[in-house]
Amino acid sequence: MALCAAACGDVATPAFPLREQFTGRVAQSDVAVAVVRDGSQVVAYVCGGDATLESHTAWYQGEMQGDRAVLRGARGELSLAFERDAVRGAVGALAFRIERTSALGGLYEHRGACRTGVIVFGGGDGDFAAQGAGCDANGRRSQVTPIRPMELLADGLAVVVDRDPTRTLFVRPVSIGR
């Protein structure tokens, strides 16, 4: 019994909670942000709307340092401060506070010619909204529209990339560390 007690007492508590997701919109802009933390690894996606699609859409990645993280991506750095149920952050001149998600809400991706990202907001009442961007083989970005009703199928969440010609993709919950 003493051996079991000693062994059981050695079980380490993770320094960071397992997978958490946060989503939200940046006030007074058409930009949306999603952050996923899985242990000490963090990935974020900033998605511009019609007015900021080209100037703001980017992926960021990094590691936790205490309750903060500085992520790096193609558009520079994104700083984050984690709170109990929210994340405060800044990228360039944009500051934001986004909330923890539940159910279908979160960050989804498809990796092909480019990395498509979709941020799903909403929650408890089953009313979800989404904002995302994909691109064609030439790197031209376009908005992504979820197919309604939004539901996570075996292949992922179905979305339409609004580019001529339009195409349907299945996005899956984002994978950290790939």
pLDDT tens per residue across span 39-93: 999 999 999 999 999 999 999 999 999 999 999 999 999 999 999 999 999 999 9
123's CB contacts (< 8 A; 6+ apart) are 101, 102, 103, 104, 105
Q: Specify the pLDDT at position 176.
A: 87
Phi, psi of 2 (to 5 degrees): -60, -35
Q: Are 118 and 159 in contact (CB under 8 A)?
A: yes
Q: And the tokens for 64?
A: 């936790």
Q: How many helices (H) and strands (E) does the chain have?
A: 2, 15
pLDDT of 4 above 80: no
Whether 12 has a pLDDT exceeding 50, the answer reads no
pLDDT value of residue 130: 93
2 pLDDT tier (thresholds 50, 70, 90):
very low
148 pLDDT above the threshold of 50: yes
pTM: 0.87
Q: What is the pLDDT of residues 100-135, one digit of tens each?
A: 997 788 999 999 878 999 999 876 566 788 999 998
What pLDDT does 127 receive? Answer: 74
Residue 3 parent element (H or E): helix 2-9
**What pLDDT does residue 114 have?**
86
Nearest CA-CA partner of 47 in 33, 27, 62, 26: 33
Q: Please name which of 166, 138, 152 lies closest in space to residue 108, comparing C-alpha atoms.
A: 152
If you average pLDDT over each of 84-88, 144-148, 164-168, which comes out highest?
84-88
**pLDDT-based confidence at 17, cuts 50/70/90?**
low
pLDDT at 124: 58
Tokens read off for 126: 């089953």
Per-residue pLDDT for 3 more than 70? Answer: no
pLDDT of 149 > 80? The answer is yes
Closest among 106, 87, 108 to 96, alpha carbons compared: 87
